[in-house]
Amino acid sequence: MALFEVTAYDKKIWEEELKDFMGENGYFSTIFDFSQTNAGKSPKGWYENRIPTVDEYKQCCFNSQRKAKGIGMYSNIIENHDEPRGASTYLPAYADNDDGVKMLATTSILLRGIPFIYQGQELGMTNTRMEKIEDYDDISTKNHYRVALRDGLTPEEAFHGVSRYSRDNARVPFPWTTGENGGFSTAMPWLKCHPDYKDFAAEKLMADKDSMFYWYKNMIDLRKQLGLTLLFISHDLSVMRFICDRIAVIHKGVIVELAETEKLYQHPLHPYTRALLSAIPMPDPESEKKKVLEVYDRSCHHYETDKPVWTEIEEGHFIMANQEELAVYRQKLAQ
């Protein structure tokens, strides 16, 4: 399956050429639908953006579905690494609560296509709160702040106008725990943690059956009952263990290992998979200090003459490896 990000500036041309970009006869199997993320945007700058109405959001979703019918299917998102949090972008004041966030999640999960869940979205994370423009790392945020000042806004108005739409809203450290820096790091993170990170901590929500985490889990179960498939992309392997039936580990766009979830966790073979699993934070601080991280170095492979091949090394467990590596992996599985 091939997935791609495509942006079109001429709506009419885009609608006419949609069939060239996705589906069986398109360049790609599927493409992201950015129609809702563009709703309410102003060409003047972020300070002129507005929150789309519920009807506008609905029409974006439905129009995309109608246009894709008979051609292919979109990959649906609420947010990603380049967008602010959907829970702070698409909900009117009366729905700015847990029920509203759950309804937004339900709308996306049950659309035709492939729903993508961006890390932190499964926790119901909202936009962060910064105190001044210098707290932001995103260059686009700073540029739009300067545009707002150029167009006559006061520093306070400019800051308020751009902070809602900053990409850094979705780039703060992932809150694993309620501990220091959300369990993300014992060092100072590149961005401040969300001020309410304790409310969004994964360990807390995973212990609450009424939480946003379990709402997503239930929606995923519903898709399964309907014979649908959900593709969940995340760096959060500890959460994925409780959501996914199978996990594909991807390195630089190439799937290097694929297996049923528990099989992958019990018998990780590829060195990149082992490195990712070793990086999962441990809830016990003392154990976390003592654990040994595995670091993936591509030079460990010797593919000059013995090229890697995609191989089912055991039933339902696939790996990208050459013959030398396969022999070692088979020995490990036999132990």
CB 140 within 8 A of CB 167: yes
- Between CA 62 and CA 68 the distance in angstroms is 10
Decide which of 275 and 15 is more confident.
275
Give the tens place of pLDDT for each residue, 292-321. 889 999 999 999 999 999 999 999 999 999
Spell out the domain ranges in the chain: 3-244, 247-335
Residues 258, 312, 251, 78, CA torsion sign: negative
* pLDDT for residue 174 is more than 80: yes
**pLDDT for the residue numbered 14:** 61
Residues 6 or more apart whose Cβ sits within 8 Å of residue 146: none
pTM (2 d.p.): 0.66
- Between CA 326 and CA 335 the distance in angstroms is 14
Give mean pLDDT, residues 238-253.
81
Residues 257, 263, 264, 267, CA torsion sign: negative
Give the tens place of pLDDT for each residue, 5-48. 665 545 554 667 888 888 888 888 888 888 888 888 999 999 99
Give the tens place of pLDDT for each residue, 42-85. 999 999 999 898 889 888 888 888 888 788 888 999 999 999 99
Topology of the domain comprising 3-244: TIM Barrel (3.20.20)
Give the long-range contacts of residues 23-27, CB within 8 A, separation 24 or more. Answer: 23/71, 23/72, 23/73, 24/72, 26/71, 26/72, 27/2
Backbone φ, ψ for residue 173 (5° rounding): -55, 140
